[in-house]
Amino acid sequence: MNHQSVAFKNTHFPSPPHHHHHHCNPIHSRLLLPSAFCSLHPSTTVTKSPRSSFTCRVLHTPLLNHPSRPLHTSNATKPPAAAASVKTVDVATLGNLCVDIVLNVPKLPPPSPDARKAFMEQLSSSPPDKRHWEAGGNCNMAIAAARLGLKCITIGHVGNEIYGKFLLDVLGDEGIDLVEMSEETDVLNAPSSPYETLLCWVLVDPSQKHGFCSRADFSKEPAFSWINTLSEEVKRAIKRSRILFCNGYDFDELSPNVMISAVEYAVEVGTSVFFDPGPRGKSLLSGTVEEQKAIRHLLRMSDVLLLTADEAESLTGLADPILAGQELLKEGNRAKWVVVKMGPKGSILITKSSITCAPAFKVKIMDTVGCGDSFVAAIAFGFIHNIPLVTTLAFANAVGAATAMGCGAGRNVATLKKVVELIETPDLNEDNKFWNVLLSDHLNSQEVTLLSKMVLNGSNGRVNHVTLQNVVSELLPKLKSNQLEGTLSS
């Protein structure tokens, strides 16, 4: 695999948080690390994820997670008769399990690959204090989903060392099981680096510039290229799950052939596939023959695609996010939904017959880390329970916004309590001019629904305005029931 790092971009952390509109999709990047470096000065005041922007660390109180009752849903993929199975798990995430280690350094390391690799090895030589550790990657989505009341598992590999045990403890505290992708005992106990838990070093200098490094940056092969097949245990996990969630960063760990195998098996056993290509989508489309084949396969075979507007444009060449979503639906064999995240404007959910739009919530943003993962968890919630599209989209915006009001991902993503509090006193970032311009070319072709603060007349009656009050009145009883009972209400 070709790991192409992006040139380092200096980013300054804001001074004290100020009030601005919620941006529900995190910034995904894997960056080079320039400048000279000195000795390490660990600090927990600021953190950074390679899949998003800045964060700070807060205290964590584990939330009890209760298995959900099996539910009938019209959105779930109907399996072939021979493959019909009982779905006892709501969401299984595939791969991308890592530990983010956040450190303050006096200077960022130099740009040359050899120097950066030596610096990373220096960091790895003695583990920093656990207060600098956080669960990263797909752990964010799994934890966010579990806190909404969904039954979640993670499928991936962690090593038999302190970092792997840390991830197992974090996931266990949230009621999330790990299904190990390796069947070999000698692999699980192997001390060599190819079998160790993937770490992402998140480095912050005194001017709040940041950079990242991981051993995946220094290899042309996936970090776990030794995983060649799906074990029977992994297949059982996929088979009993309603949703298999994959993202573009999975390709940093797993081979294209393993990714294809997982998606093909999910289709075979009636498990719906969610895919968020992220910024890796564009590089995979111009990558190796195997990568191109795999990314096209995932785009074609997924039930739900989740992208930012920029990512949708990079995959289709279409600047209009609605046209881009419709193109992805047309190219997909199984696609039901394409969800486009529009940053502070909100989000759009596109089906073959409808366009649904929901403005973002106005909140005081502390940190955007984990917002996109939280957003995906809420989309999964709505998909599983066949909640109306506009309600699902508003809920996803709210869950992402609730995470933005806190500090950090991993154990710091929003709790259900915080989501309920936000929905009880909501405020939309309405921009009618923006939505009118965006929707003007699509009013005659499909059913259009727009979330609004109040009832307004549509453009010649062609826009179905759904009030925020109606959405809130539909969501709150269900969420409060989950909060009190710890189980999903059917």
- Where residue 233 sits, what CATH number does that domain have? 3.40.1190.20
Q: pLDDT at position 405, please?
A: 80
Q: pLDDT at position 57, please?
A: 28
* DSSP state letter for 361: B
What distance in Å separates the CA atoms of residue 384 and residue 180, rounded to the nearest whole number?
A: 25
Name 242's Cβ contacts closer than 8 Å, sequence gap at least 6: 73, 76, 87, 89, 90, 91, 271, 272, 384
**126 falls within a domain:** yes
**240 falls within a domain:** yes
96 exposed, middle or buried (CB, 10 Å; 0-12, 13-18, 19+)?
A: buried
Q: pLDDT at position 77, please?
A: 55
Structure-block tokens of residue 223: 């970090």
**6 falls within a domain:** no
**3 falls within a domain:** no
Q: pLDDT at position 479, please?
A: 85
- Domains held by the chain: number: 1
**77 falls within a domain:** no
Q: What is Dmax (Cα atoms) for the chain?
A: 68
Q: pLDDT at position 45, please?
A: 32
Over the chain (490 residues), the average pLDDT of each successive run of 10 is 34 36 38 34 34 32 38 50 74 94 82 82 82 91 94 94 93 96 65 79 76 78 91 96 96 95 97 94 91 95 96 94 95 93 93 94 78 92 94 93 79 87 87 88 86 65 86 87 58
Q: What is the pTM of this model?
A: 0.79
CB 48 within 8 A of CB 102: yes
Domain that holds residue 409: 20-64+92-485
What distance in Å separates the CA atoms of residue 309 and residue 204, rounded to the nearest whole number?
A: 29
Which stretch of DSSP H or E encloses residue 237? helix 232-239
Q: Are strands 20-21 and 362-363 parallel, antiparallel or unpaired?
A: antiparallel
Q: Are strands 447-452 and 354-359 parallel, antiparallel or unpaired?
A: parallel
Q: Are strands 54-55 and 47-48 parallel, antiparallel or unpaired?
A: antiparallel
Name 81's Cβ contacts closer than 8 Å, sequence gap at least 6: none
**85 falls within a domain:** no
**207 falls within a domain:** yes
Count CA within 13 A, CB hemisphere, residue 166: 23
CB 359 within 8 A of CB 429: yes
Q: pLDDT at position 44, please?
A: 33
**4 falls within a domain:** no
Q: Are strands 354-359 and 133-137 parallel, antiparallel or unpaired?
A: unpaired
